[in-house]
Structure 1
Amino acid sequence: MDDLQTRRQRAMGRHVTTFYREPVHVVRGEGPWLWDANGRRYLDCYNNVPHVGHCHPKVVEAIAAQAATLNVHTRYMNERVVEYLEALFAKFDHGLSSAIMVCSGSEANDLALRFAQAVTGRTGLIGTDNTYHGNTAAVSQLNASKVPIGGYADHVRKVPAPDNLNPVGGSRDGQGAAFAAHVKAAIAELEASGHGVSALIVCPYFANEGFPTLERGFLDEAIAAVRAAGGLIIADEVQPGFGRLGSHWWGHEKLGFAPDIVTLGKPMANGHPVAAAVTRPEILEAFQESFKYFNTFGGNPVSAAAAHATLRVIEEEGIRENAESTGAYAVSLLCDLASRHDCIADVRGSGLFFGAELVEEGAPATALCDAVINEMRRRGVLLHSEGRHDNILKVRPPCVFSRENADLLVDTLDAALTAVRAAR
């Protein structure tokens, strides 16, 4: 492992990200499980990319069969990508029936911003102050983790992210109105500066913000203000999409709003690099008239085959329904655990995207959260942290996660919390 880590840093840079103090050298995956180079099995409670389970045989078969037949870019005619997109559009309402396929969520969000600029003729963007939307130069302006070289651009405004324990405006009941007030202030600033408003971009589950519990309609007032200013609404569904939230296929459905653009990525093809920006035909037309755009690998037949196979498995194997029932069961287990560990200040989630916020002496328990995550890894369960202070245990497993897996997760967490706190 030490030799591999040295070689990896030399090849990829000293600061390339790894999870855990002792990185896991994974060599194989199946369903919700990963195996390391020594043959040890780990329960994967974090990776949402293998949406229907690591190495699902139907997805693997579809990739192999198409790769053995043909793979070209979209300047050639091929049925695969059209058939997939038609099946995908059937999962949307609100006239979302056109798309450009790309390779990553970063690219999809970058495209979405350009869609909005093309339609509105404006450049102003509004996001939250604790979010992540990707790695391109444009979308990195919206991210919270590191300030871009030269500072944030003048056309970007960030509003306070919603929060369960520290709600915007001071109360959970008034948080929607307070959030909207900040959006209205951002609109006024962008209009005064001459940028105008092109879009509000949000993850409709506010995943990187710590997935706070929000009522249906939370965004209505903010969205109305953006639309009154001539802007569009972008829903970044890279994390909550494809049924992960259980009750709905998409986060924007759960929150009850109609986006103008939806971006997709990570779980779209179960690990194959596929993403898309989905929108209404007139928005896509405006973009294509304003920009010359081509993506060599976006929408290639192999990627389309992988995505279509994933979509079929979600439907055929009841993946969304499993996320709903298993997620509710897991949250109930965590609530019971919270009654035995006073450091668990809040348990929340939807479907197979849930977690627990850790607090000690009234402050975010960032160090405790980190210690627990590493102790869980030592005990064979992989998860990670989220939120402004990295004090939220984030559970986002493949959506084939079972009740037995949830039992193992929570039993291990019980033991890890006990061990870590006893050792301090």
Structure 2
Amino acid sequence: MRRAQRSRQETLALRRQLIGSSCKLFFSDDPVKIVKAKGQYMYDEKGRQYLDCINNVAHVGHCHPDIVKAAHEQNQLLNTNSRYLHDNVVDYAERLSKTLPEKLCTFYFLNSGSEANDLALRMARQYTKHEDVIVLDQSELCDRDLYKSKDQVMKDIHKNWLKMKSLEIVNAIIVTFCMCSNITCYMFQIAAFFVESLPSVGGQIIPPAGYFQKVAEHVHKAGGIFIADEIQVGFGRVGKHFWAFQLQGEDFVPDIVTMGKPIGNGHPIACVATTKEIAEAFAATGVEYFNTFGGNPVSCAVGLAVLDVIEKEHLQAHATEVGNFLMNLLNQQKIKHPIIGDVRGTGLFIGVDLIKDQAERTPATAAAEYLITRLKEEYILLSTDGPGRNVLKFKPPMCFSMEDAKFVVDAIDNILTDMEKQCLSQ
């Protein structure tokens, strides 16, 4: 018999008792208990519908019937250790290869984006015979000691990204790497530059065109390779292109690309794509790389279904159309509400900076937290990111509609208007 559903408070109490305290919940002071989801909507234990503006894992929509069907049908036939020969893994690798530059033609399948990044780092160190890795400050990777250069080569200039002009940003990066190249002769060499193609944790950042090319040039001179992390922003989210690194131009090709999250629409699958040269150097260790269920028949069936849905439902074009509409609505709010300092993004990857003052651009952290709490009360799920936790981040399922965009922006407008009235009355 199926156990009766626990109350929200019972579930929360058990979680606090049994799950590690470092595993955080959204809205930790008053978490939402989600029991069902469909498309861009999620439902709590009382059946209340929430608009999901942040779940980039459910890439083509929560519980998409085509994805559920693909997993179910393959599960009925076979799911087993990845060492057995099976069509799905090669079919999926072939389909993925058609979305990527020709140079990126060798694939490794895993279970999560974190595993993919770990493997990419191992490959970089084996291929280059170097140890040090450069990451952007305020990125997902820099929070993990594994990815920090032992000599702290560079702490980056993230805090200045929004203040500096694009050319100045590029010049600052080039100067930093030139310094690293000079030091190379005497101290160390670089294994890799590791970057999200669109830095998300850093605050929904859009690097200027040409930035990656310049960085890659200096990284290669210093003996390293360029790793593009597409775990949050790949698979057509940016609209114009299938991969976010392609926003830099056709002349830019990373040495390794890592994938996760949207690749399986919630199913645990991830991937590393790289060159033959790097793959052969990795194999030359003589140590087998083995991932028990990475690339298993069910995972690859799901991955193929995700690619089918993106194509069949024209989700790249949809991301461009709806994303542009959402950006226009948000820019109208920027004119109306001084707390909005910047609106930036591409496709369905959008960030909204909330600031205390236009001159210093001091992060309005408390106001951002208050806003997302109020939005939750309006049954809209949104979250913040960035070093000041003041950037509203939009990364909804790709089926997010124009009606959804208008609904959430109207709610933001109303809440900001209330906040301004309260400030005046005080």
Query: Fold conserved (TM > 0.5)?
Result: yes
3-state SS in 2 of match to 1:42: strand
Q: Deviations over 1:172-200 (max 9, x none)?
A: 43111112222333444465333x11111
Pick from 292, 303, 306: which aligns with 1:307?
303
3-state SS in 1 of match to 2:167: coil
What residue in structure 2 maps to residue 208 of structure 1? 201
Aligned 8 A contact 1:371 1:420 in 2: no
- Give the CA deviation at 1:412: 1.0
Residue 18 of structure 2 is aligned to residue 18 of structure 1: no
- Give the CA deviation at 1:214: 3.1
Q: How far apart are the structure 2 equivalents of 1:158 and 1:284?
A: 30
Q: How far apart are the structure 2 equivalents of 1:88 and 1:101?
A: 12
Residue 28 of structure 2 is aligned to residue 33 of structure 1: no
Q: Deviations over 1:351-403 (max 9, x none)?
A: 00102101113311011111101111111111111111111110100011110
Which residue identity is paired with 2:373? N
Residue 172 of structure 2 is aligned to residue 178 of structure 1: yes
- Give the CA deviation at 1:421: 4.1
**What aligned pairs does 1:273-352 form with structure 2 within 5 A after superposition?**
273-290=268-285, 291-352=287-348
**What aligned pairs does 1:114-125 form with structure 2 within 5 A after superposition?**
114-125=122-133
3-state SS in 2 of match to 1:192: coil
Between 1:408-417 and 1:48-57, the stretch displaced more is: 408-417
What residue in structure 1 maps to residue 253 of structure 2? 258
Aligned 8 A contact 1:233 1:260 in 2: yes
Pick from 254, 264, 281: which aligns with 1:269?
264
3-state SS in 2 of match to 1:277: strand
What residue in structure 1 maps to residue 140 of structure 2? 132
Between 1:330-339 and 1:10-19, the stretch displaced more is: 10-19
What residue in structure 1 maps to residue 3 of structure 2? none
**What stretches of structure 1 move > 6 A for 4+ residues in a row?**
none
Which residue identity is paired with 1:414? D
Pick from 228, 237, 244: which aligns with 2:221?
228
Which residue identity is paired with 1:329? F
Q: How far apart are the structure 2 equivalents of 1:301 and 1:237?
A: 23
Aligned 8 A contact 2:199 2:206 in 1: no
- Give the CA deviation at 1:123: 1.1
- Give the CA deviation at 1:411: 0.6
Aligned 8 A contact 2:235 2:243 in 1: yes
Q: How far apart are the structure 1 equivalents of 2:109 and 2:337?
A: 46
3-state SS in 1 of match to 2:329: helix
Q: How far apart are the structure 2 equivalents of 1:184 and 1:210?
A: 27
Aligned 8 A contact 1:31 1:53 in 2: yes
Aligned 8 A contact 1:108 1:265 in 2: yes
Aligned 8 A contact 2:80 2:296 in 1: yes
- Give the CA deviation at 1:16: 2.1
Aligned 8 A contact 1:105 1:133 in 2: no
What residue in structure 2 maps to residue 358 of structure 1? 354
3-state SS in 1 of match to 2:158: coil
Residue 192 of structure 2 is aligned to residue 199 of structure 1: yes
What residue in structure 2 maps to residue 141 of structure 1? 146
What residue in structure 2 maps to residue 85 of structure 1? 93
Q: How far apart are the structure 2 equivalents of 1:385 and 1:59?
A: 29
Matched pairs, number: 409
Residue 397 of structure 2 is aligned to residue 398 of structure 1: yes
3-state SS in 1 of match to 2:226: strand
Q: How far apart are the structure 2 equivalents of 1:19 and 1:283?
A: 39
Aligned 8 A contact 2:135 2:142 in 1: no
What residue in structure 1 maps to residue 14 of structure 2? 7
What residue in structure 2 maps to residue 60 of structure 1? 68
What residue in structure 2 maps to residue 70 of structure 1? 78
Aligned 8 A contact 1:48 1:266 in 2: yes
Aligned 8 A contact 1:9 1:15 in 2: no
What residue in structure 1 maps to residue 4 of structure 2? none
Structure 1 unaligned regions, length at least 5? 144-151
Aligned 8 A contact 1:158 1:186 in 2: no
- Give the CA deviation at 1:282: 2.0
Q: TM-score, normalised by structure 2?
A: 0.92
Q: How far apart are the structure 2 equivalents of 1:134 and 1:304?
A: 30
Change (3 A) 1:350 1:247: same
How large is the RMSD of aligned CA atoms in angstroms? 1.8
- Give the CA deviation at 1:241: 0.4
Q: Deviations over 1:132-167 (max 9, x none)?
A: 1399xxx54337xxxxxxxx7347644223754333
Residue 150 of structure 2 is aligned to residue 153 of structure 1: yes
What residue in structure 1 maps to residue 5 of structure 2? none
Which residue identity is paired with 2:308? R
Change (3 A) 1:381 1:191: farther
3-state SS in 1 of match to 2:393: strand
Q: How far apart are the structure 1 equivalents of 2:142 and 2:54?
A: 18
Question: Percent identity at matched positions?
Answer: 37
Structure 2 unaligned regions, length at least 5? 1-7
